[in-house]
Amino acid sequence: MTEHLAQMCGTLDGAWRQLAQRIEEAGPKASVRILSGEGGRMRVSVERLEKLGDPPSLVDLRKRAAAMMPLADLPELLMDVHSWTRMFDAYTHVGGLTTRLDDLPVTLAALLIADACNVGLTPVIQPREEALTRDRLSHVDQNFVRADTHAVANARLVDFQSRIQITDLWGGGMVASVDGLRFVVPVQTIQAAPSPRFFGYKRGITWLNAVNDRFAGLGAIIIPGSMRDSLHVLDAGPRPEMVTTDTTD
């Protein structure tokens, strides 16, 4: 805690010094007022500071990074990620059967695209491709794609990213942000519940997701609409040392 407070003090000191420098550079254009608040607290009000321009080094970095990014379709990107992580191996048959389907990862990539983009099967069906026929897609969707296989595949992605060297520069994974998105559910389901504050007379759910300083989308869980998000914060991924949130809900 002492080390963290010292780091925060250093950040605050740097921000004040930058503000002082910008006020000096703005000259008469800067309007600075010292206001008194409750309990004798003082605060600084600054107006009419022009926004900082991008330094040449940042402009050059953006151009270099854009030139390094290859152009690829989403299915191709998923197949590349699978070649690194073997994430599609997590999608096993619901009955525990050994699959003999050829090009199963191709079918799974198409199903994930159809589901994630909310476009349905029609755009990804290719009758001349065995792995992308309507029958194959429907069969794999019913027998391989489910919540528990998604969870195993996501765990593989999280584990693989934790071993990429650049993530060490982002942080140690101990600072996380957790928040929930609320949806009205128009059909009967055990996971939906009433919440007059958000859904009125309807029923709904909360989709809770966690993001830490090393990875986005650590784990998503469904919470019945009437339950508080904060009760499930530590269920959404690895336990962090610090959690930031917008409200206490």
Task: Write the pLDDT tens digit of every residue in 12-34.
Answer: 888 888 877 777 776 666 677 77
In this prediction, residue 219 carries a pLDDT of 63
Report how far Cα 199 is from the mean position of its chain's Cα atoms: 25
Judge if 43 and 94 occupy the same domain.
Answer: no
Determine the Cα–Cα distance for residues 33 and 46; give it in Å rounded to an integer.
7
Contact predicate 140/108, CB 8 Å: yes
Domain of residue 121, residue span:
74-150
Q: How far is CA 217 from the centre of its chain?
A: 4
User: What is d(CA 155, CA 85) in angstroms, rounded to the nearest whole number?
Assistant: 10
**Does the residue 129 lie in any domain?**
yes
Per DSSP, the three-state class of 228 is coil
pLDDT at 106: 96
Domain boundary among 117, 150, 183: 150
Residue 38 domain flag: yes
Closest CA to 142 of 89, 98, 91: 91
In the 8-state DSSP scheme, what is residue 232?
Answer: G
Q: Which residues share a beta bridge with 180?
A: 208
Burial class (CB in 10 A: 0-12, 13-18, 19+), 38: exposed
Does residue 137 sit within a domain? yes
pLDDT in tens, the chain (249 residues): 688 888 888 888 888 888 777 777 766 666 777 777 676 676 777 666 667 678 899 999 999 999 998 888 889 999 999 999 999 999 999 988 888 889 999 999 999 999 988 888 999 999 999 999 999 999 999 999 998 899 899 889 888 888 888 888 887 777 878 777 788 888 877 778 877 777 777 888 888 877 877 776 666 677 776 666 666 666 545 567 777 776 654
102 within some domain: yes
Predicted TM-score (pTM) of the model is 0.61
Asked if residue 180 and residue 122 are part of one domain, the reply reads no
Give strand pairing partners of 31.
47
How many domains does the chain contain in total? Answer: 3
Based on the fold, state whether residues 106 and 42 are members of the same structural domain: no
In this structure, is residue 161 part of a structural domain? no
Burial level of 8, CB count in 10 A (0-12/13-18/19+)? exposed
What is residue 176's predicted lDDT score, i.e. its pLDDT? 79
How does DSSP assign 23-77, residue by residue? HHHHGGG-EEEEEE-GGG-EEEEEE-PPPPPPPHHHHHHHHHHHHHSPP--HHHH
Same domain, 124 and 84: yes
